Amino acid sequence: MKYAPLIDLLKRNNIRFLENQSLHSLSNFEIGSSADIVIFPNDIDAFCEILSYLYDKGIKFFIVGKGTNLVFPDFHYNGVILCTSMLDKIKIDGDCLMAECGASVTDCSILAIKNSLSGMEFFCGIPGSIGGAVYMNASAFDGVTSGIIIESLAFDLNTMAKFKINLEEHKFNDKKSIFCENKNLILLSSTFLLKKDFKEAIYLKALNFALRRISSQPLGKGSAGSAFKRPKNSYASKLIDESGLKGFTVGGAQISKKHAGFIVNFNNATANDIKELIRITKERVYKKFNVPLDEEIIFVD
């Protein structure tokens, strides 16, 4: 009953949705119970209309890009999950690449290579979306999202209006952006300024990054990448390894044997297993090195 008008709106606009849907396949960890409704908006205006409706009616919602940095709860989510996977248009205009929030960052980097544009090589192999990358200021090797983005289009739930934000207005800071602070702001699309270069050189650099990931990361198992932010003057993976935690498990969650910075779902882990493993890891590392670790994984509740 509560959702009847929403379902009408979705049907009218031909928008895909699933009721009482399991959340397993929506996160790389493959953890989580179910949600009342999962919606897959297929254009930006429809996305904004749904956001406005949910906000106006006070219906709880959560936005998911590729689900590669989050853990869904073990209990039912009483609300709506908005999945941006169909908002995936990418286009090139001169030296700029514009992408909708659900576009894969790896697809963006491949299109940049095809157009002899350099700057996005570090995106190659990160399994997330533009929305997640901007939200978290994703970074790898020699690159960081804040280093190439020039502007974004955002939707403000307070005013129900779209507006452009420039680089400074993103308030990037380490692994944060304005979208972490202000949950009433939703990222719709972003524009990146790249540089013309030799296609082969760009390709080889991106390939090298992707191969380094394959050789050092446990890519066959569910994870959220690095579980912890990089502490000052060190690496979380080094501290965790030297605390003797490589391979340490709680329930079905494990500190990866291949890369101590990763927590993996090696045997039907629950969100609680991940939380407890994070708690113990932080405690052990702090005891041994007096360094506080800060988790990067987002828990949906």
| Torsion, CA 115, CA 66, CA 70, CA 272, rounded to 10 | -140
Site residue total, ligand FAD (CB under 6 A): 33
The helix (run of H) or strand (run of E) holding residue 66 is none
Interface stretch with ligand FAD, choices 110-118, 134-142, 251-259, 265-273 (CB under 6 A)? 134-142
Closest CB to ligand FAD belongs to which residue? 132
Question: What DSSP character marks residue 124?
Answer: T
Q: Which of 32, 35, 41, 66 binds ligand FAD (CB under 6 A)?
A: 66
Bridge-partner residues for 140, per DSSP? 143
Q: Which of 10, 51, 101, 117 binds ligand FAD (CB under 6 A)?
A: 101
32 is an interface residue for ligand FAD by CB under 6 A: no
Interface stretch with ligand FAD, choices 15-23, 89-97, 124-132, 165-173 (CB under 6 A)? 124-132
The residues near 75 (Cβ < 8 Å, ≥ 6 apart) are 33
Residue whose C-alpha is closest to residue 43's, from 106, 89, 105, 97? 89
Q: Rounded to the nearest whole angstrom, what is the least distance from the CB of residue 69 to ligand FAD in the complex?
A: 4
Query: Using a CB cutoff of 8 Å and minimum separation of 24, what contacts does 56-61 make?
Result: 57/6, 59/2, 59/6
Q: Rounded to the nearest whole angstrom, what is the least distance from the CB of residue 210 to ligand FAD in the complex?
A: 11
| Cα gap 287→245, rounded to integer Å | 13
Q: Which of 32, 41, 119, 127 binds ligand FAD (CB under 6 A)?
A: 127
Interface stretch with ligand FAD, choices 16-24, 179-187, 191-199, 284-292 (CB under 6 A)? 179-187
CA 2 to chain centre: 29
| Cα gap 105→208, rounded to integer Å | 17
Q: Which of 138, 149, 165, 206 binds ligand FAD (CB under 6 A)?
A: 138
Residues lying near ligand FAD in the complex (CB under 6 A) are found at 28, 62-70, 84, 101, 126-129, 131-133, 135-136, 138-140, 179, 186-187, 217, 219, 223-225, 298
